[in-house]
Structure 1
Amino acid sequence: MDTPSHPLPPADRAQTRLYYWVLAAIVLGGLFGHFDAAHAVALKPVGDGFIGLIKMLIAPVVFCTVVLGIAGASDMKKAGRVGFKALVYFEVVSTLALALGVIVANVLRPGQGFNVDPASLDTQAVAGFAKQAGQQTVAEFFLHIIPKTFTDAFTGSGDLLQVLLVSVLFGLALHKMGEAGRLVHRFVEECAHLFFAMMNVVMKLAPIGAGAAMAFTIGKYGIDALKPLAALMGCFYLTCALFVVLVLGGIGKLIGFNIFKLLRYLKEELLLVLGTSSSETALVPLMNKLERLGCSRSVVGLVVPSGYSFNLDGTNIYLTLSALFIAQALNVDLSLSQQLTLLLVAMLTSKGASGVTGAGFITLAATLAVVPAVPVAALSLILGIDRFMSEARALTNLIGNAVATIVVSQSERELNQAQLRAELEGGVRG
C-alpha cells in the first residue's frame, strides 16, 4: 500500500467541531435568507469569495496529485491501466445516470400540464447561457483541452481538463527521466504538502462560506420559488436518490461496502457541498478520506481529479431530466430517436462541466440545442430553481467519484478491505 504523499488531517474533535459549525451555519444562513432577504442577498460576495479561494487552489492540487501519481508509479503500464479502467467506469456509470434521467422523465412526466406558450418565454433571461453554450463545436471542444501555453492551463480559463492534460504529460516526462528527475519529483512532492496545508487553512472558513451561500440562495430565490416547479424538483431529487441507492449502492455491494455507511463517513464533505452548491469545495477533503479508507495514493491521485471532469453523475441526470421536462412543458412530443440523440449529445457535453454552480445550466443549453423543436429560450422555465437543483447535482457527483475511486482501487487489488470496513464502522459509530 502506498503511503500518502500529503498530510492527512486526523479524524479528531476539531474536524467534528467543523462539521457542526458548518451545519449550524447552513441552518442559520437559511433562516436569515428567509426572514431578511434584502441583507441576505448582500452576502453573495462572502460565499463567492470562499468558493474562489477553493478554486484558486484546485489547479495546483490536481497538478501535484496527478503528477505524483504517474511519476511515482513503478510500472507505467499500471498507471495507464488505472486511467483506462477509470475512463471505462466513468462512461458506463455516466451513461446509466443519463438513461435513468430519461426513464424517470418518461414515467413521471413532471412537465405535463404546464402548457407553456413558446411566445411567452423570456429570451433575455437565458441569452447569456445560450451564447456560452453555442461558442464551441465538437472539434473546438477537444482543441480547447489544449492550453495556449503551459501556464495558461493554470492562469487562463481555469479549465480542469487543461490542467489534467498538462499534469499527465508532465508526469509521464518526469517518470521517463528516472533518477535524473528525482529533484523535480521531490519539489512537486513538497509543493503538494504546501498546497494541501493551504487548503486545510482555507477549510477553516467553511462555516462562513457555506452559511453565506445558503443565505444568498434563500434570500435571492425564496422558498416560494420552489412551489411552481415542485414536480421537477421532486423528480430530480428522487432520481438522484435512486441513482445513489440503487446504482452506486449496487456497485458498493459488489465491492463489499454499504453505501449508507459511506455516506455517513463522508458527512462533513457532503454538508460542505450542500452549503456551497459546489463539489470542488470538497475535493481535497474527499481525497484525504479515500486514502484513509484504504485506497492507494496512486489510484486516488489519478481517479478523483479526472472524475471531477469525466464522472459527473448528478449533472448527467440533470441534463436529460431537465431537457425532457422542458419539452413536456411546451407540449413537444420527442420521438425515441430524438431522445436517443439527446442522450448521446449529453454524453459529450457533460464532460468537463465544472462542479461550480451555473456550469450545469450552460451544459444543458448546449444539449438542448440539438433538438430544434425545443427552443433554448425555454431554459427560462427552470432558471429560478436551477440553484436549488445544483446542490443535488454536486452531492451526487461527489458520491459518484468516491465510489469510483473505491472500485478502481479494488480492481487494482490496492484497496485495504480491513481498513475500509474499520473506517466505515467507525464512521457509523461516530
Structure 2
Amino acid sequence: MIAADQCDTGRQACPIATSLARHAHNNKHATYGSLMPDRLLRSTTLHLLLAIVCGALLGVFDPGLAMEMKPLSDGFIRVIGWLMPFMMFLLIASGVAGLQVRQRGLGVRVWLYFQSMALLSLALGCLVTQLTHPGTGTGLGVSALATNFDIAPPSSTAFAWAAAGSMLTRALTQNPILQVMLAGLLTGTLMARARGRRHVDAARLMLEKIVDVLFKGLRQVLRFAPIAAFGAIAFTVGRFGPASALPLLKFVAVMYLACGAFVLLILTPIARACGTSLWSLVIHLKDELLLVTFTGSSVAALPGLIEKMQAAGCDRQVTRLVLTTGYTFNLSGSNIYLITAVLFLAQMSAIDLSATDLLTLLLIALVTSLGSTSMAGSAFFTLIVTLNLLHVVPVEGVGLLLGVERLMKCRVLTNVLGNCVACLAIARWQNALILWERINPREGSVVDEPPSPKAPNRE
C-alpha cells in the first residue's frame, strides 16, 4: 500500500496516495484499480468527451434537431458573461491592490509583453496569409467593391493615426469589459497607494473573500459545461456538412496553420525559457482547454485557469492581473484571425497590397485589436469594425466568413495558451515563479493532481 507522504512534492501530499491511504483505512483489500471507476465517473474530461460524441452523433443523424440545440451553448455562455464583469473587476482590483513593493514595475512589464505578442501575432498572421494566398482563385469574389481602393495615399500616416484615435475612443466608450477593467485598475491603484491604512486593508481582504465566493458560484455554473458542449457540437455538425462552402475551408486551414506556427515558433520557446515545456502546460490545463474548445468561449475557463496557474507555481497577484487583463489585451489568436481575414477578403477581391499597405494594415489592426474581448463573437465584431474603418470590402464580403465562425477553435485556444504562457513569463520576469514539478520536465514528478489552488501565496 502506498503511503500518502511518499508522494509528497514539497508542497502538498499527492492526492492519489492520500485517497488510497484513506480508502485502505476502511478496506484493507482496497487497490488503486478499485478507485478508477469512481474517478472516471467524476472526471470532467470524460463528461465533456461524452457530450461531444453525443452531440456529433445527433448532428450526423438528425441535423434539424441538432441545430435546435444551439440555445444550450448560447445560454451557458450568456450566464458566464453576466458574471464575468464582476469577476474581472474584483480580480483586477484585488490583484493591483495586493502588489508588493518589488512588483511595482509589473504593470509596465505586462503592457510591454502584451504589445510585443500583439505585434508578433499580427506580423506572423500577415506573413502566413501572404505566403499561402488563401483568397486567390476561390471563386467567391466580392461584388460592389470600390475599384479605386488605396489604403496608403500620401497621407497614410495621418490617416492611420486618425483611425487609431477613433478606435481608442470607441473602445473606451462602447466596450463595457474595457470600462470594467479600467475601473478595476483605478480602484486597485488607489487601494495600493493607501496600503497600510486599517480601512483599506480591510477592504482588500473583503475583496479577496468576495472573489472566493464568486469562484465557488462559477464552479457550480461550470458543472453544466458538458451540456453546453453538447449543444455547441450538435449545432456545428448539423449546420456544416460535406457540402459546406469548400473554398472557405482553405481560409480555415490557413488560420490553423498560422495559429500553429505562433504556438510553435513563439509560445514554445517562451515556455522553455521559463523552465517548462508547452506540452507539459497543455496537459496541466487539459480540462480548461477542452471546455474552451467545445463551448467556444475562453471566459468560461478563467476561474479554472487562475487556479491551475497558481497551482503551477505562479504568484497569486501576478496570475490574477495577467490573466484578467490578458483577456482583452493579449488575444494573439484573435489578432491572427483579424489580419488573416482582412487579407483573405482583399485577395478574394483581387486587391494587390504593397508593403506600405501592409504596414498600414498592421498599425490599424494593432489599434482595433484593443477593442477585442474574450467573449464569443468579439473577434468577428472587431473584424467588422476594422473593415468599416478601412473600407476594404462591403458588409456582404464579411458575411462570407460568418459561415465558418464556429470552426475557429484555434483562435480561442491560441488566446488561452498565450495568456497562460504570459503568466509564466511575467511571473519569471518578476522573480515570482516557483514551478510545480509536474510542468517542469527537469524534475520528473509523479504527482497526478495539482496542489492546492491557494498555493503559492507570497503576500
Per the normalisation by structure 1, the TM-score is 0.85
Q: Could you tell me how far 1:175 is from its partner in structure 2?
A: 2.6
Q: CA deviation at 1:221?
A: 3.5
Counterpart of 1:171, as a letter, is G
5 Å-filtered alignment, 1:101-250, equals: 101-119=125-143, 138-139=164-165, 141-143=167-169, 159-177=176-194, 178-225=197-244, 227-250=246-269
State whether residues 163 and 364 of structure 2, in contact with CA within 8 Å, keep that contact through their aligned partners in structure 1.
Answer: no
Gaps spanning 5+ residues in structure 1: where? 1-9, 122-135, 148-156
Structure 1 residue identity aligned to 2:109: K
> For residue 410 of structure 2, what is the aligned residue in structure 1?
392
Q: In the alignment, what sits opposite 1:82? A: 106
Equivalent-residue separation in structure 2 for 1:68 and 1:348 (angstroms):
28
Distance 1:146 1:101, change over 3 A: closer
Cα gap change, 1:15 to 1:252, in 2 (>3 Å): farther
Match of 2:394 in 1: 375
Question: Corresponding residue for 2:3?
Answer: none
Provide the C-alpha distance between the structure 1 equivalents of 2:342 and 2:80, rounded to a whole number of angstroms. 31
Match of 2:70 in 1: 44
- What is the distance in 1 between the residues matched to 2:404 and 2:230? 19
CA contact (8 A) 1:146 1:165 kept: no
Shift of 1:73: 2.2
Q: Which amino acid aligns with 1:160?
A: I
CA distance in 2, matches of 1:107, 1:240: 15
- Counterpart of 1:127? none
For 1:281 and 1:230, the matched residues in 2 are separated by 27
Task: Name stretches of at least 5 consecutive residues in structure 2 with no aligned partner.
Answer: 1-14, 20-38, 146-161, 450-459
- Which residue, out of 392, 403, 411, partners 2:421? 403
Separation (CA, whole Å) in 1 of partners of 2:184 and 2:141 = 49
Question: Structure 1 residues 420 and 167 mapped into 2: Cα distance closer, same or farther (>3 Å)?
Answer: farther
Please give the alpha-carbon distance, in whole angstroms, between the structure 1 residues aligned to 2:215 and 2:41.
16
Structure 1 residues 221 and 115: alpha-carbon distance in aligned structure 2, compared to 1, 3 A threshold:
closer
C-alpha RMSD of the superposition: 2.6
Q: Does 1:56 align with 2:82?
A: yes
**CA–CA distance in structure 1, aligned partners of residues 93 and 143 of structure 2:** 52
Whole-Å Cα distance in 2 between the matches of residues 406 and 54 of structure 1? 26
**CA, structure 1 residues 28+326, in 2 after alignment: closer, same or farther (shift >3 Å)?**
same
Quick one: which of 255, 270, 280 aligns to 1:261?
A: 280
> Is contact 1:83–1:303 with CA below 8 Å preserved after alignment?
no
The code of the aligned residue for 1:44 comes to K
Q: 1:118 to 1:234 in 2, by over 3 A?
A: closer
Q: Count residues with an aligned counterpart.
A: 395
Q: Residues 60, 363 of structure 1: CA spacing in aligned structure 2 closer, same or farther, 3 A cutoff?
A: same
Structure 2 vs 1, CA of residues 221 and 267 (structure 1 numbering), >3 Å: closer, same or farther?
A: same
Percent identity of paired positions between Structure 1 and Structure 2: 35
1:289-300 equivalences under 5 Å are: 289-300=308-319
What letter is aligned with 2:54?
L
Cα-to-partner distance string for 1:367-422 (whole Å, 9 max, x where unaligned): 22354453343112222112211x21111100000000000000011100354645
2:99 equivalent to 1:73: yes
CA distance in 1 between counterparts of 2:186 and 2:447 reads 41
Contact kept? 1:43, 1:213, Cα under 8 Å: yes
Contact in 2 for aligned 1:69/1:298 (Cα 8 Å): yes
Aligned pair in 2 of structure 1 residues 23, 70: CA closer, same or farther (>3 Å)? Answer: same
Deviations 1:195-241 (CA, angstroms, capped at 9, x unpaired): 00001111111111111112122223345325332211111111111
- For each residue in 1:326-361, what CA deviation from the matched residue of structure 2 results, as whole angstroms up to 9, or x when unmatched? 111121111221111111111111113122332211
Higher CA-based Rg: 2
Query: Deviations for 1:157-211, whole angstroms, at most 9, x for unmatched residues?
Result: 7722111111111112223332222332222121111100001111111111111
283-292 vs 331-340, which moves further: 331-340
8 A contact 1:342–1:367 mirrored in 2: no
Determine if contact 2:312/2:436 at 8 Å carries over to the other structure: no
Write the distance in 2 (CA, Å) between the matches of 1:138 and 1:328: 24
